Amino acid sequence: MLIRNCLLLDFRQKYRCMCKMSIFTQNINPITGLTSWEERDPDYDYYQEIARSAFADMLHDHERNYKYYLGIKAAIDKKHKAKEEANVLDIGTGTGLLSMMAAKCGADSIVACETFKPIAECAKRIIDKNGFSNKIKLIYKRSTKLTVGKDGDLLKRANILVTEVFDTELIGEGALSTFKHAQDFLLEKDSIVVPSSGTIWVQVVESHLVKGWNRVNPIKYKNNEENLIEAPDITQVCSGASAVHDIQLSQLPEGSFNTLIEPQPIFKFDWTGKIPLKFNDNVILPVKPIAKGIAHAVFMWWDLNMDMDGQIQLSCAPVWAHPDAQFDLKNGEHFKNVVDKIPWRDHWMQAIYYLPNDCYLSPEKETLLIGSHDEYSFWFSLNNEQKNAIEDFKRPICECCVHLAFSRTRIGQWNDENRTHKYLEALRKKITPDLVCLCLTDTSLLGLSIAKMGIKKLYLLETNSLSRKTVKMFISKNNLDDIVTIIDSIDNLPSSDKINLVFAEPYYVTSILPWDNLHFWYLSSKYSSPHITFIPKRAVIKAVPMEFKDLQKIRANLGICEGLDMTVFDNLVQSSSVKTDSPVEAQPLWEYPGKSLSLPFTIAEFNFNDDVYKQIRINSFQEIPFIIDGVCNGIAIWVNWDLDDDIVVTSGPIEEIIPGSRISWDPYTRQGVQLFSETVHVTNKSILMSSFNFNPEEGRIQFNFELKNK
């Protein structure tokens, strides 16, 4: 018995030690393409959840906070004026901000619930620090698990509900079920709800820019009417991925779309329960177009009434439809200046819904705008025939495989005529009748174009099954089966004596950051032979210090928010982010205005004629002077691909960078960004210290940026 107890004790001690050990996670390195195990903190998942919780930019939204405050105050004052107690329920309290607002406004009782335990514990500390622990009861539960009664979470039903359970689609976080359950089980009859209602607005547009994110256009050479590559028929009638395309519509270039049907409300949700909420609904709106054109997409946004009387409104409309922008626009103020005046939000953007078919609209003929929703999402269509509108209208799903295999930015790259022309121009210089080309890019339509330019043979490396399925459709559509051979594994690549040209765009489905596409170097280094040409021949990593107008808010500390101390939250998020997040993240910078504070500088160059496996570790350090005074809150990083000595394709700025001016970014790629949690005022005497490390053996790239004032 003694021996058994000793063995059990020894096991328990070892188990406790194991529990404190690091964990290992399996990761694919997008640069090398190799799988490796990485040592992580034992609480890695816990910290990652906190770091990715994305509360911060929402709390930087002063208009949101202020209008919630006004709605809460109006509700509490209304109950008190009616000689009633103000008993508040806050569902999904997050940091506790709305509950503390209710306490400041004199609520008689406040119950707040939060199911995400790390944030609930953080909220408790924030509430304590701000002196409201005796006024707010915090429950670590989902609202649907709350109980009411003598021994329940709430002593009695609340008569004021405060909640923020909205996303870009308004209902995507389960708002319908949350409000319905609260109405049925947690609220008194005739309770006040903040917000009281929400309205969905839609606008039908013609836009070749927008269409380019969803529909595959033919590939053609500049000024040549004949198409090199035709898109399969099924891709032309596919409405695309069912996931919503959330986007900052106000950043679309002026003149990039034509309004065919003016903005109008299509769905309204009464959160108070006076009008029952529908979890599935269809609406048919007879509408008169205001212009001729082909309808490509539906823009969508929403607004909220924050009080019961509809006097306090919060709008997520783009600038041209935003109620706060109308006066300036009508008085001729420049579009871009007005954009800067309306509230910026990254947590609630606008959305694009792609139509299943191109539909020609004219002011001479009324059409039917059809909207549908389920519990979590919307979809839209147009019907010119005005019959069987609902019966024929099903939720769109991708049936062509393209939208399942590739992101919208990748489809946009295929449709970028300027980019296409540059690649074809570089390729045209190398085309001969006896050319044998190896394409090392996931589903390269430009690679297929080579097969139509008079070469002997084309090999395509397609290791991803969805990419392979997609490219087979294009090969069949363009009758290229005889000249194109698909390779499904790097182990089956042809030998170097069979290849004259190695080509890539480069693009890989595993790539997130621009330099992840250096995977091309690792693949092409298997062909280090003097008779083989590489396109591109070189990659150059570039960077520029930035003053972003708003993007920095997604990582910036809150400090004092609406008069309340949020440093507990700041410390939690920052410490968690250090443990789990890379300091550099991918962002579509065309959606986030910012100006450069210096000239762009080169961080590193990679020559693809060199064998990556023979390279030594690269370390570099440089000091970059600031040219313009400003507030430096981040660094933008991108890659230029030198196709040859004359032609460059960039994943960064599409116009020359002028210090002090806004940068125009490529809308079909994401750039790398390092954001600073603390911003720094810089002058022409300030210095950016930039260091770079590249370990070719491991495929590890590290950036480090520090700001220094002389």
85 carries an active-site annotation: no
Q: Which domain holds residue 295?
A: 199-396
pLDDT tens column, 317-360: 999 999 999 988 888 888 778 888 898 999 999 999 998 888 99
Name the catalytic one among 114, 164, 169, 462. Answer: 164
C-alpha–C-alpha distance, residues 545 and 601, integer Å: 9
Task: With a cut of 80, say whether residue 177 has pLDDT above it.
Answer: yes
Domain presence at residue 170: no
Does residue 697 or residue 57 have the better pLDDT? 697
pLDDT at 118: 87
481, 625: one domain: no
Domain presence at residue 692: yes
458, 506: one domain: yes
pLDDT tens column, 600-652: 999 999 999 999 999 999 999 999 999 999 999 999 999 999 999 999 999 99
CATH code of 436's domain = 3.40.50.150
Please report, rounded to a whole number, the percentage of residues in the chain having pLDDT higher than 70: 93
**Please, what is the average pLDDT of the chain?**
91
Encode 150-162 in three state secondary structure: CCCCECCCEEEEE
Max Cα-Cα span within the chain: 95
Of 616, 625, 627, 654, nearest in space to 638 by CA = 654
655 carries an active-site annotation: no
What is the torsional sign of CA 18, 22, 28, 33?
Answer: negative
For residue 433, whether the previous peptide bond is cis, meaning omega lies within 30 degrees of 0, is no
Give the lowest-confidence range in 24-28, 473-477, 612-616: 24-28
249, 390: one domain: yes
Domain presence at residue 378: yes
Task: With a cut of 80, say whether residue 468 has pLDDT above it.
Answer: yes
Domain presence at residue 463: yes
Task: With a cut of 80, say whether residue 655 has pLDDT above it.
Answer: yes
User: What SS3 state is found at 523?
Assistant: helix
pLDDT at 7: 37
Domain boundary among 493, 508, 534: 534
C-alpha–C-alpha distance, residues 595 and 510, integer Å: 30
pLDDT at 388: 61
pLDDT tens column, 563-614: 999 999 998 888 877 777 788 999 999 999 999 999 999 999 999 999 999 9
452, 544: one domain: no
Domain presence at residue 165: no
339, 281: one domain: yes
pLDDT at 385: 73
Query: Which residues sit opposite 642 in a β-bridge?
Result: 538, 648
Task: With a cut of 60, say whether residue 16 has pLDDT above it.
Answer: no
**How many domains does the chain fold into?**
4
623, 687: one domain: yes
545, 489: one domain: no
366, 418: one domain: no
User: What SS3 state is found at 479?
Assistant: coil
* Beta strand pairing call for 436-439 and 457-461: parallel
- State phi, psi for 157 to the nearest 5 degrees: -60, 145
8 Å CB contact between 457 and 481:
no
CATH code of 269's domain = 2.70.160.11
542, 523: one domain: no
Name the catalytic one among 121, 173, 562, 591. Answer: 173
377, 485: one domain: no
Domain boundary among 396, 428, 460: 396
Domain boundary among 373, 396, 419: 396
Task: Give the number of other Cβ atoms within 10 Å of residue 334's Cβ.
Answer: 11
- pTM for the model stands at 0.92
Domain presence at residue 662: yes
Domain presence at residue 401: no
Task: With a cut of 80, say whether residue 55 has pLDDT above it.
Answer: no
387, 417: one domain: no
8 Å CB contact between 371 and 283:
yes
pLDDT at 11: 36
Domain presence at residue 106: no
User: What SS3 state is found at 434?
Assistant: coil
356, 493: one domain: no
Query: Which residues sit opposite 101 in a β-bridge?
Result: none
